[in-house]
Amino acid sequence: MTNGKTKILEDMASTEFRKYGYELVDWIADYLDNIEDYSVLPKTEIGEIKNSLPDQPPKSGESFETILSDFDKKIMPGITHWNHPNFMAYFNSTSSGPGILADLLSAGLNINGMSWHTCPSATELEEVTLNWLAQMLGIPVKFWGIIYDTASMSSLHAVAAAREQAKELFINGEELSQSNYSQLRIYCSEQAHFSIDKCALTLGINKEGIRKIPVDKEFRMIPEKLSEAVKQDRKNGWLPFCVVATVGTTSTTSVDPVKEIATICKKEKIWLHVDAAYAGTAAIIPEMRWIFDGIENVDSIVVNPHKWMFTPIDLSAFYTSKPEMLKQAFSLSAEYLQSSSDEKVTNYMDYGIQLGRRFRSLKLWFIIKYFGVNGIRNRIREHIRLAKKFADWIDNNDDFERMAPVHFGVVCFRAVPKNISDDQSLRENELNKLNEKLLNKINSSDKLFLSHTVLNNKYTIRISISGIRTLEKNVKDAQLIIQNKLSEILT
Ligand code: PLP
């Protein structure tokens, strides 16, 4: 061992690793303790970070002090603070202490969980934690789970499995010919996340193969319209093979009626995938279980603990009741990876595109063990309570109006001050401009970060309360900032 000595051919000495490891843990603890001292958004100009770094890599290694000092001076200024309690844009993903520490351990172990053989603990812990999570969410035992990086990837695998099923059901196991490929059709609502379009495009289904189903006033897919579309498409020679229902759409968090959609899909023999990337976590609280009504009849589900379960990005939990379809779509291997245990174990590499797999289940396991089901429930319940309180504030404030129902931690609203034109067409145009200006003013306050969407051509501001560090006082501060910035614009 050469502990403490400069090494020419080996890794950093353990004494040095220990010293800077402790220092970095202290740094992270201080960072999280004092996170409110940072402005949520960085103030850097485009290219500023890049220009502050040398064009070429260092020829000789630098001291760890230099690296840390460069990190502080050159990288930190361009950091957007997703962990900040006033980061209330998009679907916030915040890390938590146990998640951060588990990721550190995972980097230390550096296993590759491609098969059981390459790391039994990684495979078996993934099976156990996904089983725990399924119980927490009320996902029936017939569902089999796997962890991917993001919901986009989970949905891509769902659509690939759906296509595999279509081959079985409609083409009797024969390969679809190129001409048949262009006939495949996938359905999702007008409010579905664009990752679904990307999945379809990636799998060779062109834009015409993606059919958007209209939504009702509450932005939910209308099942009758889906049923009509499928029937019409079959008549016109299309092959309907997959429907994606969303539980918690990105703009408004609307919940598609999974039960009714599942009945249609069962009858039509179409794969039903549920994108519950953000809102699925809410099913952990018993009073929110309704969001998964009918879930026993779907083919696959995605829930992202990195969106609303305090898990450092990335971790997407994917469940399917037909893992054999997924395996059929993806199990290709090479001789060098075969082992005598293959028949008896799960080799996760057989269920997806990637071969190498990080030890993601470790952080999920740490988080569930550390907070417990009740601890997670309390935090999710509180976020929903705070969102409803914020919605009440909007509803009772003459300067604002609410734009969508509130089910989870997101409230969609816009400013509608009195001195706006009465002429309907001018009015909407003016309101759109005003709300865009308001959002820009809020975000340049350095104190709060919100995002926006457009609903029925109306520019809409979105607040998302799902950060583990976001408390009632932060939401009250947000209200004050929003109101003050509107007053500044109007005076
Ligand atoms: N599905 C929904 C409903 C989303 O809101 C998002 C992102 O916000 C995604 C999928 C994509 O998530 P990911 O970044 O994990 O791919």
CATH code for the domain in which residue 428 is found: 3.90.1150.170
**Residue 179 pLDDT exceeds 70:** no
Pocket test for ligand 1, best of 82, 157, 202, 250 (most atoms within 8 A of CB): 250
Between 237 and 192, where is the model more confident?
Answer: 192
Number of alpha carbons in the 13 Å side-chain half-sphere of residue 33: 6
Residues 202 and 351 in one domain: yes
Predicted pLDDT at 4? 56
Residues 186 and 330 in one domain: yes
Q: Which of 258, 278, 268, 272 is nearest to 233 (CA)?
A: 268
**Mean pLDDT across the stretch 261-279?**
97
In a domain, 8, yes or no: no
In a domain, 38, yes or no: no
Residues 484 and 389 in one domain: yes
Residues 335 and 261 in one domain: yes
Q: In the listed set 358, 389, 414, which residue is the last one of a domain according to the structure?
A: 358
Predicted pLDDT at 172? 46
Burial of 296 (0-12, 13-18, 19+ CB in 10 A): middle
Predicted pLDDT at 330? 87
Segment 13-42, tens digit of pLDDT: 999 999 999 999 999 999 999 999 999 999
Atom of ligand 1 nearest to the CA of 90: 8
Residues 302 and 405 in one domain: no
The closest residue, in CA terms, to atom 5 on ligand 1 is 250
- Cα 150 to averaged position of ligand 1 atoms, centre (Å): 7
- Cα 156 to averaged position of ligand 1 atoms, centre (Å): 12
**Mean pLDDT across the stretch 403-430?**
90
C-alpha 102/C-alpha 100 separation (Å) is 5
**Residue 68 pLDDT exceeds 50:** yes
Q: How far is CA 65 from the centre of its chain?
A: 35
In a domain, 42, yes or no: no
How many domains is the chain built from?
2
Question: Ligand 1 pocket: which residues have CB below 6 Å?
Answer: 91, 150-152, 193, 195, 246, 248-250, 275, 277-278, 304, 316
Residues 180 and 300 in one domain: yes
**Cα-based angle 483, 487, 490 (whole degrees, multiple of 5):** 140
Q: Which of 283, 314, 287 is nearest to 143 (CA)?
A: 283
In a domain, 231, yes or no: yes
- Cα 151 to averaged position of ligand 1 atoms, centre (Å): 5
Predicted pLDDT at 168? 76
**Mean pLDDT across the stretch 375-399?**
98
The closest residue, in CA terms, to atom 9 on ligand 1 is 151
In a domain, 20, yes or no: no
* DSSP state for residue 221 in the 8-state scheme: B
Q: In the listed set 326, 358, 390, which residue is the last one of a domain according to the structure?
A: 358
How high is the mean pLDDT of the chain?
Answer: 93
- Cα 310 to averaged position of ligand 1 atoms, centre (Å): 16
Q: How far is CA 186 from the centre of its chain?
A: 21
Burial of 21 (0-12, 13-18, 19+ CB in 10 A): middle
Range of the domain at 199: 112-358
Amino acid occupying residue 327: K
Residues 345 and 464 in one domain: no
C-alpha 89/C-alpha 462 separation (Å) is 7
The closest residue, in CA terms, to atom 10 on ligand 1 is 151
Kindly indicate the confidence band of residue 182, based on its pLDDT and cuts at 50, 70 and 90.
low
**Residue 376 pLDDT exceeds 90:** yes
- Cα 152 to averaged position of ligand 1 atoms, centre (Å): 6
Structural tokens at position 80: 């957007």
In a domain, 84, yes or no: no
Share of the chain above pLDDT 90, in %: 87
Question: For residue 271, what are the β-bridge partners?
Answer: 242
**Residue 177 pLDDT exceeds 70:** no
Cis check for the bond before 314: say yes or no (omega within 30 of 0): yes
- Cα 300 to averaged position of ligand 1 atoms, centre (Å): 16
Predicted pLDDT at 352? 94
In a domain, 392, yes or no: yes
- Cα 250 to averaged position of ligand 1 atoms, centre (Å): 7
CATH number at residue 192: 3.40.640.10
Predicted pLDDT at 419? 79
Q: Is residue 248 a contact partner of residue 276, using CB atoms and an 8 Å limit?
A: yes
Segment 273-293, tens digit of pLDDT: 999 999 999 999 999 999 999
Atom of ligand 1 nearest to the CA of 152: 16
Atom of ligand 1 nearest to the CA of 153: 16
C-alpha 65/C-alpha 24 separation (Å) is 11
Q: In the listed set 335, 358, 381, which residue is the last one of a domain according to the structure?
A: 358
Kindly indicate the confidence band of residue 440, based on its pLDDT and cuts at 50, 70 and 90.
very high
Share of the chain above pLDDT 70, in %: 95
Q: Is residue 85 a contact partner of residue 467, using CB atoms and an 8 Å limit?
A: yes
Kindly indicate the confidence band of residue 3, based on its pLDDT and cuts at 50, 70 and 90.
very low
Predicted pLDDT at 171? 55
Kindly indicate the confidence band of residue 1, based on its pLDDT and cuts at 50, 70 and 90.
very low
Amino acid occupying residue 181: Y
Q: Is residue 465 a contact partner of residue 475, using CB atoms and an 8 Å limit?
A: yes
